Amino acid sequence: MTLTRRNAHKDGGTFKNSDLLWYAKAVGVMKSRPVNDPTSWWFYAAMHGQKLNKKQEGYPDWTFIESIPASANLGVLPSATQMSLYWDQCQHSTGFFLPWHRGYLAALEYLLRDIIINQLNGPADWALPYWNYFNKDENKIPTAFTDSTLPNTDIPNPLYVAERYGPDKNGIDIYVDLSLANQECQSKSTTNDYLGKSGGFNHIGSQLGSTTGRIESNPHNRGHIDIGKYNEAGKEGLMSDETTAALDPIFYIHHCNIDRMWAAWNTKNNNPKDTNWLEGPTADGLSRYAMPMDGAGTAWHFAPKDVNSTNINFYGNVGHSYTYDDLTLPVEAPSSLASRLINLGKLMPEMSENEPVVPKDISSELVGASTPLTLFSGITETSVQIDNTSWKSVANSLRDASNQNLPDEVYLQLENVKGIHNSNSLLVSVNGTFVDSIALFGLRSASEENSQHGGTGLTFNIDITHVIDELYLSENLNIDALKVKIETSDPIIGDTFEVGRISVYRVAQ
Ligand SMILES: [Cu+2]
């Protein structure tokens, strides 16, 4: 049977939507189990990331989280073997972000269905709902997640968690801020750009290890930090940190939307075909990802190639197939640069709808870089000195741009951003033009010395080609430096952010 994942805002996003009611009941069952049970809510959340056997002073150590009940029995951990096989697996800032989370959702859905159908006598077609914040009037969290009790009972609502404060930081208005969140990733990206790249060289050729794909930075990261904003006391919501995020039931509904967007993107675009992506960690000699499928902890092992589509074979003849009730792609206006080339008659209009075909040999060149930078609350301004010779090549490429001769792309790179607050954003402008907002989900973990990222922080790439093209058009390209302004969306409480450097790259095509 192919399951259909439906919109969580159906029936107003209330408990009249039976998908949400059954989700709540099944989450309640999982929450009643102790952390050392592989089918408990706590064990599943720890598979994403945890601060339980990895101690932390105060919050976000799980023993300081009020919404975890005593019955979770946090004092009795699973076996060391199970923890090392299953816990702390989440993949962020790499090309494995989408496939890992697809497997994670599918395994959870399988488990929830087992509870709903076999234990609670619920509907056989139940599937995880998704929250599409881009639908008109649906950027607010469905109220089934904020009600304090299940309908017509005094049973506490398993979908509600206290540590969820939202953009207004009041715990009531929880929404994805559409002035910053967007679905531009759906129509603009080439493969590596969309999914992110793992190890080696990123798409602009600099050696960074891994990079974050567009769908991961926006809307994924943005959704996390909007829902996980800190409260008046400066305490972050569960959703803004990867070691607490999956404790919040909205996590899976948010991720279901990200997975839906990937499936929609796949109606027009193919996934990577190279072995490094398909084989995932096994390409580096590491073991495959693992999900527990029952209380005994039976493992489903998988690599990205096993979740390349929404027809998943767990093992033997146990499979899991699903689709979505909405796989439409947004219609996007052509970029300013594409419009200019169309007006000049140099770019065929149909090319603007899809990404121009990227030639095989993309070479990138560092054009300039700043010194290290400390960011305080509010605005920080700096300039990036640029090298004259490489800059001339950029100007020439814009002058000679045509359908056959694509102009250089220019990227601003914020390298090795570090700090301890996740629920903040950096609003970046270049020479007075706003270019991007960066949500800092995962910053704290990535900045920790002994983290997956080795304490190197996070690195972000921003395409600023259109800004450079504007300068060229207004004959203002003859400059020695670019002015970069970075504004924090929220105050940084009692701390600063560090930026290794800001660099500018040109990518010749
Ligand atoms: Cu996430």
For every residue of 317-331, DSSP letters joined together read TEEEEEEES--PPPP
Give residue 499's region: left, alpha or beta (phi > 0; psi -120 to 50).
beta
User: Do residue 363 and residue 316 come from a single domain?
Assistant: no
User: Residue 412 is part of a domain; what is its CATH number?
Assistant: 2.60.120
**Which residue's structure tokens are 């450079």?**
468
N- to C-terminal Cα distance for the chain? 46
279 and 367 both lie in a single domain: no
CA 223, distance to chain mean position in Å, is 8
- Other beta carbons less than 10 A from residue 502's beta carbon: 25
314 plus 387 within the same structural domain: no
pLDDT of residue 341: 66
Which pair of structure tokens corresponds to residue 296? 């005994």
State the pLDDT at residue 494. 79
Tokens of 236: 């972050």
CA of 366 to the centre of ligand 1 (A): 32
Q: How far is the CA of 231 from the centre of ligand 1 (A)?
A: 20
Q: Are residues 123 and 237 in the same domain?
A: yes
Whether residue 262 lies inside any domain: the answer is: yes
For residue 361, what pLDDT is reported? Answer: 45
Residues with Cβ within 8 Å of 254's Cβ and at least 6 positions away in sequence, in order, are 131, 220, 223, 224, 227, 239
CA of 212 to the centre of ligand 1 (A): 12
Number of domains in the chain: 2
Q: Distance between CA 68 and CA 51 in Å, rounded?
A: 13
Helix (H) or strand (E) holding 425, with range, is strand 425-430
pLDDT value, residue 454: 61
Q: Decide: 221 and 131 in contact? Cβ < 8 Å.
A: no
Distance 259 CA to ligand 1 centre (A): 11
Q: Which of 324, 345, 373 is the last residue of a domain?
A: 324
CB atoms within 10 A of CB 492: 16
CA of 466 to the centre of ligand 1 (A): 30
CA of 476 to the centre of ligand 1 (A): 41
Q: Looking at 284, 305, 324, which one is the last position of a domain?
A: 324
- Calculate how far, in angstroms, residue 255's C-alpha sits from the geometric centre of ligand 1: 6
CA 219–ligand 1 middle distance (angstroms): 10
Residue 451, pLDDT score: 60
Report the alpha-carbon distance of residue 144 to residue 147 in Å, rounded.
6
pLDDT at 27: 98
Q: How far is CA 172 from the centre of its chain?
A: 24
Whole-angstrom Cα distance, residue 500 to residue 481? 18
**Residue 55, domain member (yes or no):** yes
309 with 450, same domain: the answer is no
Centroid of ligand 1 to alpha carbon of 197 (angstroms): 17
CA 352 to ligand 1 centroid distance, Å: 31
Let me know if residue 417 belongs to a domain.
Answer: yes
Residues 364, 227 share a domain: no
Give the distance (Å) from ligand 1 centre to CA of residue 222.
10
Instruction: Tell me the CA–centroid distance for residue 109 and ligand 1, in Å.
Output: 16
Do residues 369 and 423 share a domain? Answer: yes
Please indicate, yes or no, if residue 344 is contained in any of the structural domains.
no
Ligand 1 midpoint to CA 91 (Å) = 9
Find the domain containing 414 and state its range.
Answer: 356-508
In a domain, 348, yes or no: no
| CA 102–ligand 1 middle distance (angstroms) | 11
Domain boundary among the residues 283, 307, 324 is at 324
Strands (E), 147-284: 196-197, 211-212
The rounded Å distance from CA 251 to ligand 1 centre is 7
pLDDT at 483: 95
SS3 291: strand
What separation in Å is there between the alpha carbon of 347 and the centre of ligand 1?
37
d(CA 241, ligand 1 centre) in Å: 9
* CA 63 to centroid of ligand 1, rounded, Å: 22
Distance (Å) from CA 223 to ligand 1 centroid: 8
Q: Averaged in consecutive runs of 10 residues, what is the pLDDT profile of the chain (509 residues)? A: 96 98 98 98 96 82 94 96 92 87 97 98 98 96 97 97 95 94 85 72 40 88 96 92 96 98 95 88 78 92 95 92 96 67 58 41 78 95 91 87 80 92 94 93 85 74 88 86 95 90 87
Report yes or no on 317 lying in a domain.
yes
Q: What is the CATH number of the domain that holds 271?
A: 1.10.1280.10
How far away, in angstroms, is 238 Cα from ligand 1 center? 11
How far does residue 416's CA lie from ligand 1's centre (Å)? 21
Could you tell me the distance, in angstroms and rounded to a whole number, from the CA of residue 485 to the centre of ligand 1? 28
- CA atoms of 453 and 92, how far apart (whole Å): 10
Q: Measured in angstroms, how far is the CA atom of residue 43 from the centroid of ligand 1?
A: 17
182 and 311 both lie in a single domain: yes
The answer on 180 and 72 residing in a single domain is yes
Q: Shortest CA distance to 26 belongs to which of 185, 174, 197, 158?
A: 158
* CA–CA distance, 217 with 196 (Å, rounded to integer): 10
Is residue 346 situated within a structural domain? no
What stretch of H or E contains 311? strand 311-315
Q: What is the pLDDT of residue 244?
A: 96
313 and 361 assigned to the same domain: no
Same domain (yes/no): 320, 361: no
Distance (Å) from CA 398 to ligand 1 centroid: 38
The reply to whether 257 and 312 lie within a common domain is: yes
Look at residue 3 in the predicted model and tell me its pLDDT: 98
* Ligand 1 centroid to residue 296 C-alpha, Å: 27
pLDDT of residue 358: 41
User: Cβ(245)–Cβ(228) under 8 Å?
Assistant: yes
What is the spatial distance between Cα 423 and Cα 413, in angstroms, rounded to a whole number?
21
Q: How close is the Cα of 348 to the center of ligand 1, in Å? A: 38
**Structural domain contains residue 404:** yes
